[in-house]
């Protein structure tokens, strides 16, 4: 019994030291980061294609949205309200929202998407990268 315990203890120590090596390894950390960024990009791509691509393009013509995001034209809080409920933003008298409408010939279309913060952030990440 005593022998067995010692074996387990040694295995545990070996495991802990391996884990530590991975945790302090730059290469491993960069790989993890890259993996997460790629995943976030691809999630954003899917959300963009399912919700926005009907009217906005990432390249070619109709790509003003990409430039607005790349140039950080708007704060995230504004973008979230704009995407989730453009109509209520306009009705509440938000000057920027009203200005955007005026600059676009007061088209009747209003953005109203059921997307949460992370879903919106993934779309913005996809457009930026
Ligand atoms: C049915 C067409 C349509 C869809 C779908 C659409 N948009 Fe738009 N979007 C527009 C129009 C038109 C404008 C110009 C402003 C306006 O008239 O409200 C615009 C403008 C914008 C702007 C402001 C850009 C600027 O430079 O001022 C943002 C941000 C935006 N859209 C984000 C999105 C996102 C994100 C999605 C998908 C979740 C989306 N839109 C889906 C039609 C659409």
Is 1 a residue whose pLDDT tops 60?
Answer: no
Query: What is 36-128's CATH number?
Result: 1.10.760
Record the pTM: 0.85
Query: Please, what is the average pLDDT of the chain?
Result: 92
Query: Which of residues 25 and 42 earns the better pLDDT score?
Result: 42
Least confident of 40-44, 60-64, 87-91, 114-118: 60-64
Question: Read out DSSP for 51-100?
Answer: HTTTT--SSSSS-HHHHHHHTT-S-HHHHHHHHHHHHHHHHTT-HHHHHH
CA of 14 to the centre of ligand 1 (A): 55
User: Ligand 1: residues whose CB is within 6 Å?
Assistant: 51-52, 54-56, 64-65, 68, 73, 79, 82-83, 100-101, 104, 107, 109, 111, 113, 123
């Amino acid at each position: 019994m005593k022998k067995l315990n010692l074996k387990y203890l040694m295995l545990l120590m070996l495991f802990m030291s391996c884990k530590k090596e991975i945790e302090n390894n730059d290469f491993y950390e960069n790989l993890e980061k890259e993996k997460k960024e790629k995943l976030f990009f691809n999630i954003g791509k899917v959300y963009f294609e399912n919700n926005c691509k009907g009217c906005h393009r990432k390249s070619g013509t109709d790509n003003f949205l990409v430039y607005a995001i790349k140039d950080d034209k708007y704060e995230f809080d504004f973008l979230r309200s704009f995407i989730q409920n453009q109509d209520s933003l306009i009705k509440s008298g938000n000057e920027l929202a009203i200005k955007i409408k005026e600059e676009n010939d007061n088209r009747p279309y209003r953005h109203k998407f059921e997307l949460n913060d992370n879903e919106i952030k993934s779309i913005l990440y996809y457009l930026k990268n």
